[in-house]
Chain A
Amino acid sequence: MKAAKKSLQARGGQLSNTFTQLKVLNGKALVDTKFESFAAKLDSIGLLPLQPTGVEIFQINVGKMCNQVCKHCHVDAGPDRKEIMTKATMQLCLQALKKTNISTVDLTGGAPEMNPNFRWFVEELSAMGKHIIDRCNLTIINANKKYNDLPAFFKQHQVEVVSSLPYYSASRTDSQRGDGVFESSIKALQQLNEVGYGMDGSGLLLNLVYNPSGAFLPADQATLQQQFKQQLKRKYNIEFNQLYAITNLPVSRFLDYLIESGNYEAYMEKLVNAFNPTAAAGVMCRNTISVSWDGYLYDCDFNQMLDLKVQQKAPQHLADFNLEQLNNRSIVLNQHCYGCTAGAGSSCGGSTA
């Protein structure tokens, strides 16, 4: 498969439609015949209805615009996506946060830094004393002069930087994220190291994310971390804190890849067969709330991309934010959820079991 230059939406791909994605995921040829429904699976281990353990992480998708077009992107992000969170919606986020003692705000995208109000938003969150995570794709730092000082900006606000690097070689990185991404990512990691990110005793956290570059599950997180640390230090003198191993979920462009490459059924079978009850109990949607660029609330970023808003009895928009009601909701489930419960489990913070 060649790297695409445009999002699925801009290419007119059928799977840019969330209804079509859900139709594929719930296709009667497989669900209930070959694969048990995810809800029934949770029921069989006494976890249905799945309920929050309490919101600890407020994850905000500040927009779908991105300088990259990664093949596996569940957001279908890209340079052609114009959905961007406005300052008014960011203000609603701040108001909602003020009503709670949620300590961690996790900023994601697209490339969050491309939102014109990104820095203002980080400054506001920082002034509130929040622990801020920025899911930075690395290449944005050198994509344009105006982003070159991002490492210093992150440092100023003690932002935790979480960045994808599918492998410590160019071939596997570029095959997933686009030509030249590896080289640019290495340069950005070195720049982050220069200001202290990932260095012992600096307190500046630089964590990497490993996603498999294909239709297979991630390796053991601790083993991968050791491998990445050794190789990135040896080859490029790069240091980082932790590596998160994340499973690709069959959503949007990764779902499109699975179908196009003829791997969909085998991959779903792999996820279903690897169902781990311990991972199921520790899924991230139990302690996270996900906010979309237009202020709607979701159980996780994957549900957001499938347009599966939080249960109706809970507030569905920031304007009606109520933490107590959100903590009492039941989490919306679908077949893609098997991705978070396979093997060692998967979340935005890596393995869960």
Chain B
Amino acid sequence: MEQTYYNPKDLKKFGDIADHNKELADKFFDWYGSVFKEGALTAREKSLIALAVSHAVQCPYCIDAYTVDSLEKGADEEQMMEAIHVASAIKGGAVLVHGVQMMNKAKAISM
């Protein structure tokens, strides 16, 4: 299938969202830039968190961007895969922990 909803070239057009609301876009990009600056966490740690979240929210643009960014911040595939496992564990755990709710409800309506 040649036509898809996601086009890698669109990532470079992210800034175009300012076309329809510059004030909010400026605020977002300014805040975004500040978030990723070296702080209590290193830029590499932030990039690995971003990579993990990118997988959790299943954003192909973000996965591409933060794979490159993680490598350019000095991470390797081993660290990147561990970060993705952390995201997966939380996603999987989030599903499973609701099993308690199922058990509570089942208990409530069962003899």
Contacts of B72 in A (CB 8 A): 212, 216-219
Q: Is A91 interfacial (CB-CB < 8 Å)?
A: no
Interface residues of A in 194-217 (CB under 8 A from B): 212, 214, 216-217
Are A219 and B76 interface neighbours, CB within 8 A?
Answer: no
Instruction: Using known A-B contacts A216-B68, A220-B43, determine if residue A227 contacts B74 with beta carbons closer than 8 Å.
Output: yes
By beta carbon, the residue of chain A nearest B67 is A216
Number of B positions contacting A (CB below 8 A): 11
Sample of 7 more A-B contacts, CB < 8 Å, known A216-B68, A219-B73, A227-B74: A171-B78, A218-B72, A220-B73, A223-B42, A223-B44, A224-B74, A227-B44
Q: A residues near B, CB below 8 A?
A: 167, 169, 171-172, 212, 214, 216-220, 223-224, 227
Interface membership of B77, Cβ < 8 A = yes
A171: chain B residues at CB < 8 Å are 76-78
Shortest CB–CB separation between residue B101 and chain A, in angstroms? 42
B52 to chain A, nearest CB (A): 18
B-chain residues with CB within 8 Å of residue A169 when the two chains form the complex: 76, 78
In the complex, per-residue mask of B83-102: 1 if CB is within 8 Å of any chain A CB, else 0:
00000000000000000000
Query: A219–B44 contact, CB under 8 A?
Result: yes
Instruction: Give B54-86 as 1s and 0s: 1 = Cβ < 8 Å from A's Cβ atoms.
Output: 000000000000001001111011100000000
**Which of the residues B74, B77, B78 comes within 8 Å of A219, measured between beta carbons?**
B74
**Are the C-beta atoms of B71 and A212 separated by less than 8 Å?**
yes
Shortest Cβ distance from B68 into A: residue: A216
* Interfacial chain B residues near A220, Cβ < 8 Å: 43, 73-74
Residues of B with C-beta under 8 A to A214: 71
Kindly report which residue of chain A lies nearest to residue B79, judged by CB atoms: A169
